[in-house]
Amino acid sequence: MLSRSVPVHSADAVRTFLVLGYLADFRLGQDTQEGITTGAGVGEATQSQMYRLRGNEALLDQEGIDLVQQLIDLGQEHLFDHWPAPGDDDDRKLALMEQLKQLNASYPGGLKAYITNAKRLLEASKAGENAFEGYVPSVPEGEKLDFGSRDFREFEEIGVEASREAAFVLVAGGLGERLGYSGIKIALPTDLARNACFLQLYMESILALQAKAGGNAQLPLAIMTSGDTHERTQKLLQDNAYFGMQPAQVTLLKQEKVACLSDSEAHLAVDKDNPFKLQTKPHGHGDVHSLLYGSGLLKKWVEAGVKWVAFFQDTNALVFRGLPAALGVSVKYGYDMNSLAVPRRAKEAIGGIAALRKPDGNTLTINVEYNLLDPLLRASGWADGDVNDDTGYSPYPGNINQLILKAESYLPALEKTQGIIAEFVNPKYKDDTRTAFKSSTRLECMMQDFPHGLPSDASVGFTVVNQVWAAYSPVKNSPPDAKAKVAAGAPSHSATTGELDIYQTNCRCLQMLGAQIGGPEQREFNSLQVEMWPRVSWSPSFALTFADLEAKVHGPSISISQDSALVIEGANIEVKSLELDGALVLQTSRKARLVVDGLKLHNRGWKWQALKAEKPMSEEQYIRGFLVCKREALHLVYDQDGTTVYPGPQIGAGAQQQTQGALTS
């Protein structure tokens, strides 16, 4: 899809499409390929059709006239038949033409290709065709790791080494309205102890990997935005000095929308309140591939030596706990595509990664949606379909759209298809005739469907972190929706659990190193029964990997009570001995070093308190179900050169001691 991104960098991008579940050998600028066209030469100035404009053609430039002729040839005359005579509603007519031009320019092959593809996909949908027809599923190759195990740490270190030749892509086109939050999702605080937003955490994690690479390395980051989030994402970056990154490292790629379809004949859907405006909707996160290709950014990365491209979603604060290990798995096995995945229960409402094979030997390892996987298994001879094995989980791991692609196969695959990946259509029919829709639909694409573009002998695998809480706790649901999910037996995927899983993961890491950690305590927030661990939160600069943590804390000499809070900000901090019963904040600048050795601290601390409906609350508090009462804490903040050992004969320069707090977020 052609889209203009504005500085940080400006970039053009190309959108994607699928024909009946497989990729056509499509090239921009070629007119036909098995009936698929790029939009050139339609009608060849069929002037006989212009009578439908009743003289309004005088309002249009040649591009507009050609586009109207093309659309009428494609059966879209309903867009113009209602136009009044020149002089009436001329501004609205021109507004519609501008929208049509934009939609025509932003899809490879233009509206002709979009409508043609839509007709074929809708015909297949009406006939009930199955894109996986003829495939036999089997369990794919991959690695299952216990979080913190020896194997996990070994893969993590391999991944850290490989990250010096990696680029990162954040898919962040969504607003927080579904959560009950009015801002963009990546601006949400990940937790209320440290209070860093998702975008800050992600960029700090990349900077932590960059620091390990040494030298003048600058690991690139691309952020896919949408019309709803683009300007606000840019402002968030600028207001926070790019969270420590150089602006040149960051590229924003803006995703555009596609036209909606009103029926199985692929008529473009007109806005119910304005006949001079088309309905549009997002095309799906699969656009990220075409944006990287069409902008030229992926090619630029490869030419600069990038070997791996890692993709992650907007509100999973734990993704970088598993991503380095997954990258290590990719390096060891040479995977062209590797999905960081989670265990899934049989028939759980999450897509499963499966290896598919046809009788002719063609193979495809790809995500299969849960409502298709079980019938596919049954049709292939597994009478019980998708069932749990002796681990208690399905052998088909759960897709969470955290991907690692090998650049040397990723770029050629996109070059072959001009950035196009698989599309699908999912209309909601009014009745069994499968003709009329309950509401308009559109073509969609998903980033995990990229394997359609790889050759049959490509190496596609997965990396599962067996402990779901350690690598995947997304914030996706509002409090009412989270409650309903849990009632249905599914994870809440709420802001409540998103925060508490950060504390759990950090506490368990410390336990693995021998620390004594109190709790967890059973609590209830937003009608969710949850485990509350000590509120331990640290910056990626302090510890991104197990090796980092092991080098900076002496586990057997650390104890933290259940109701304590510990926040660590800075790379140059070491905790040798600590008994904590209260709240402690450790913070250093790049120049300062702090060693905590022999500190026994007891204070009133910080309390996570359930909300009361009659009390005022912020959106950030509402979606969690709690606020933080910061009553008392010891803040040790050092910003000058040198090493300070605390407690010592004196507090180092710049240190702050006991502080009293009020109710805060």
Question: In the chain, where does the domain assigned CATH 2.160.10.30 lie?
Answer: 484-664
* CB neighbour list of residue 310: distance below 8 Å, 6 or more residues apart: 166, 167, 168, 169, 323, 327, 402, 403, 404
The number of beta carbons lying within 10 Å of the beta carbon of residue 538 is 24
Q: How far is 200 from 8, CA to CA, in rounded Å?
A: 17
- The CA-atom distances, in angstroms, between 223 and each of 126, 164, 273, 473 are 36, 19, 34, 21
Written as one letter, the residue type at 140 is P
Q: How far is 27 from 577, CA to CA, in rounded Å?
A: 64
Q: Any bridge partners for residue 270, and if so which?
A: 278
Question: In the chain, where does the domain assigned CATH 3.90.550.10 lie?
Answer: 149-342+406-456
List phi, psi (to 5°) of 260: -85, 160
Per-residue pLDDT of 542-585, as tens digits, reads 999 999 999 999 999 999 999 999 999 999 999 999 999 999 99
pLDDT (mean) for 330-358: 94
Is the pLDDT at 181 greater than 70? The verdict is: yes
Task: Please measure the distance between the N-terminal and C-terminal CA atoms of the chain and give it in whole angstroms.
Answer: 40
Q: For domain 149-342+406-456, which architecture applies?
A: Alpha-Beta Complex (3.90)
Q: Which of the two residues, 664 and 514, has the higher pLDDT score?
A: 514
Per-residue pLDDT of 390-413, as tens digits, reads 999 999 999 999 999 999 999 999
Written as one letter, the residue type at 273 is D
Q: Which of 45-54, 306-315, 410-419 has the highest mean pLDDT?
A: 306-315
CA-wise closest residue to 520 among 506, 533, 502: 533
Q: What percent of the chain has pLDDT over 70?
A: 90
Is residue 159 within 8 A of residue 328, CB to CB? The reply is yes
- 33 DSSP 8-state letter: B
Element (H, E) at 239: helix 230-239
pLDDT value of residue 48: 56
Cα 6–Cα 224–Cα 96 angle in degrees, nearest 5: 65
> Could you give the residue ranges of the DSSP H alpha helices within 11-109?
62-73, 90-105
Is the pLDDT at 643 greater than 50? The verdict is: yes
Per-residue pLDDT of 584-620, as tens digits, reads 999 999 999 999 999 999 999 999 999 998 889 999 9
Provide the pLDDT confidence category of residue 127 given band limits of 50, 70 and 90.
confident
Q: How far is 169 from 223, CA to CA, in rounded Å?
A: 6
Is the pLDDT at 14 greater than 70? The verdict is: no
Is residue 528 within 8 A of residue 565, CB to CB? The reply is no
Tell me the three state secondary structure of residue 578: strand
Per-residue pLDDT of 233-276, as tens digits, reads 999 999 999 999 999 999 999 999 999 999 999 999 999 999 99
Is the pLDDT at 59 greater than 80? The verdict is: yes
Cα 195–Cα 209–Cα 553 angle in degrees, nearest 5: 65
pLDDT value of residue 17: 33
Min mean pLDDT across 27-36, 186-195, 509-518 is at 27-36
List phi, psi (to 5°) of 126: -60, -35
Q: Would you state the structure tokens that stand for residue 396, as one six-digit string?
A: 């088909």
Is the pLDDT at 660 greater than 60? The verdict is: no
Q: How far is 106 from 2, CA to CA, in rounded Å?
A: 4
Written as one letter, the residue type at 404 is I
pLDDT value of residue 40: 38
Task: State pTM to two decimals.
Answer: 0.88
What is the residue whose two structure tokens read 């409540």? 496
Which listed CATH number (3.40.190.80, 2.160.10.30, 3.20.20.330, 1.10.3720.10) goes with 484-664? 2.160.10.30
Is residue 547 within 8 A of residue 159, CB to CB? The reply is no
What is the rounded average pLDDT for all residues in the chain?
89
